[in-house]
């Protein structure tokens, strides 16, 4: 009897994973196609940049009058995981999809993972009603939504599954959630494979020998990656706080921000910092980046998201890390592509407090040959990036939390 009950229960969850994976994967595939269309149209018609304020106003009005309950984005998913209260409204998916396409079409600097994760989370949570699931099972659904969204938008199912678990590491998750996270990640990944969608491929042609000298060079590079992650996180929070304090009517924040952004990009010729910046990321693996590229991307992305435009932070984090690593190749005797790859995932690790997922992502993207360099970079960047990440609702726990708590207490004891 127990065997039959467990078999039916397992079948139910496999069905849920398949449905979430298919729906989230399809949503991500449509999103990636739409994003490519928006980027191509923008690059062919740079005058669209001047419509960024109008696009920002539309996004602001949409969320202010119809989407206040989903405006928190990824943070809402984390909050609902920690304290389940009510099912995430399905409208989160189309709202963030539309908002992100508008942001990219008119030249805002933003990413895409936040959109895919929010769509995945909103879609997944609807099954709590369909299958009459309790609060604990709702937590599992949120993990599955995050996993499916991340895995499908980047084409990295292992990293997506681990990211969904690690990003909520501040809470306990069950073995069931861990297993199902991998199952749904592959369902979503293979769903995208059915669509005419192609993920960007990166290549590290030469990996240095891992010896003491090269290990010692990894350390300062990884610390700088961690500092860049810290600067990115604090920049986004700073601009968001500044806009909230200075402009009381929310829809006007992206409108004003769009005007400022368009003027700065136009007069300084900074079009390379619009949108995802994937061409600059690819170029960073082949040609040394300018020393200031990573700083400008931090400023443009923090300003865009802080003003209220929609999108994610992860691809801009890839941009920051890859260009910083590429620029460091002028000073650190490691292969340029290897440094770019290390920075690509290490800055992401520091900003999201997810070193394991980022290590796995690096291996999936760049190959097992660079695994040691990537792993060390991710963990050092994670430790050196501070206690503030890109997600307000994420709580730092574990070794990093204890280190910073000890530092804080010792610092207070000095006074």
Q: From 298, 267, 323, 239, select the one nearest 49 (Cα to Cα).
A: 267
Q: Domain end: 126, 160, 194, which one?
A: 194
Q: Read off the CATH number of the domain in which 101 is found.
A: 1.10.3080.10
Q: Considering the domain boundaries, does residue 204 fall inside one?
A: no
Which domain-ending residue is among 194, 224, 258?
A: 194
Domain of 288 in residue numbering reads as: 212-402
Q: Are residues 190 and 216 in the same domain?
A: no
Same-domain status, 118 and 239: no
Residue-level pLDDT at 6? 79
Closest CA to 86 of 98, 69, 74: 69
**Within a domain: 201:** no
- Clarify whether residues 187 and 247 are in a common domain: no
Q: Which residue has the higher pLDDT, 396 or 414?
A: 396
Q: Are residues 320 and 190 in the same domain?
A: no
* Alpha helices per DSSP H over 195-251: 212-246
The two three-digit tokens of residue 415, written as one number? 């006074």
* pLDDT average, residue stretch 358-371: 94
Answer yes or no: do 190 and 222 share one domain: no
Tell me the percentage of the chain whose pLDDT exceeds 90.
78
Question: If you average pLDDT over residues 147-169, what whole number do you get?
Answer: 90
- Looking at residue 283, its pLDDT comes to 96
Residue 407 lies in a domain: no
Residues 175 and 233 in one domain: no
- Average pLDDT across the chain, whole number: 91
Checking phi first, is residue 107 left (phi over 0); if not, alpha (psi -120 to 50) or beta? left
Tokens of 355: 């070193």
In a domain, 7, yes or no: yes
Among 18-32, 77-91, 167-181, where is mean pLDDT lowest? 167-181
Report yes or no on 57 lying in a domain: yes
Sort 135 into a burial class: Cβ within 10 Å, 0-12 / 13-18 / 19+: exposed
pTM of the model: 0.91
d(CA 148, CA 28) in angstroms, rounded, equals 9
Is residue 151 situated within a structural domain? yes
Q: How many residues does the chain have?
A: 415
Quick one: DSSP state of residue 269?
Answer: T
Task: Report the distance separating Cα 409 and Cα 398, nearest Å.
Answer: 17
Q: How far is 181 from 128, CA to CA, in rounded Å?
A: 16
Q: Is residue 205 part of a domain?
A: no
| Residue that terminates a domain, selected from 137, 160, 194 | 194
Q: How many domains does the chain have?
A: 2
- Residue 410 inside a domain? The answer is no
- Examine the domain organization and report whether 220 and 274 are in the same domain: yes
Residue 413 has pLDDT above 50, yes or no: no
Residues 375 and 319 in one domain: yes
| Residues whose CB falls within 8 Å of the CB of residue 82, separated by 6 or more in sequence, listed in order | 168, 170, 171, 393
- Taking only the tens place, the pLDDT of each residue in 68-110 is 999 999 899 989 988 888 999 999 999 999 999 999 999 999 9
């Amino acid at each position: 009897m127990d065997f039959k009950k467990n078999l039916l229960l397992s079948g139910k969850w496999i069905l849920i994973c398949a449905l979430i994976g298919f729906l989230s994967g399809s949503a991500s595939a449509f999103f990636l196609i739409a994003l490519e269309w928006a980027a191509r149209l923008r690059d062919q018609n740079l005058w669209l940049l001047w419509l960024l304020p109008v696009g920002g106003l539309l996004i602001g009005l949409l969320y202010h009058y119809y989407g206040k309950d989903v405006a928190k984005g990824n943070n809402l998913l984390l909050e609902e995981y920690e304290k389940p209260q009510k099912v995430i409204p399905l409208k989160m998916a189309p709202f963030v999809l539309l908002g992100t396409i508008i942001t990219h079409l008119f030249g805002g600097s933003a990413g895409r993972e936040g959109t895919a994760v929010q769509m995945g989370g909103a879609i997944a949570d609807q099954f709590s009603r369909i299958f009459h699931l309790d609060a604990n099972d709702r937590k599992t659904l949120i993990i599955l939504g995050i996993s499916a969204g991340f895995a499908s938008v980047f084409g990295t199912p292992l990293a997506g599954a681990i990211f969904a678990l690690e990003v909520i590491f501040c809470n306990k998750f069950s073995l069931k959630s861990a297993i199902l996270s991998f199952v749904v990640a592959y369902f979503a990944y293979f769903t995208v494979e059915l669509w005419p969608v192609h993920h960007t491929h990166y290549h590290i042609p030469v990996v240095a020998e891992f010896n003491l000298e090269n290990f010692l060079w990894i350390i300062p590079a990884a610390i700088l990656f961690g500092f860049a992650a810290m600067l990115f996180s604090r920049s986004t929070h700073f601009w968001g706080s500044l806009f909230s304090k200075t402009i009381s009517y929310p829809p006007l924040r992206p409108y004003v921000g769009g005007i400022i952004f368009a003027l700065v990009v136009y007069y300084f010729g900074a079009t390379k910092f619009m949108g995802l910046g994937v061409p600059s990321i690819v170029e960073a693996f082949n040609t040394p980046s300018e020393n200031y590229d990573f700083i400008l991307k931090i400023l443009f992305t923090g300003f865009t998201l802080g003003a209220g435009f929609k999108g994610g932070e992860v691809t801009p984090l890839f941009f920051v890390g890859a260009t910083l690593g590429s620029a460091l190749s002028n000073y650190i005797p490691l292969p340029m592509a290897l440094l770019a790859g290390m920075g690509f995932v290490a800055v992401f690790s520091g900003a999201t407090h997810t070193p394991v997922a980022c290590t796995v992502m690096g291996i999936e993207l760049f190959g097992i040959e660079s695994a040691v360099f990537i792993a060390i970079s991710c963990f050092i960047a994670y430790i050196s990036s501070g206690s503030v990440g890109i997600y307000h609702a994420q709580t730092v726990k574990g070794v990093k939390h204890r280190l910073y708590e000890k530092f804080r207490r010792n610092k207070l004891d000095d006074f």
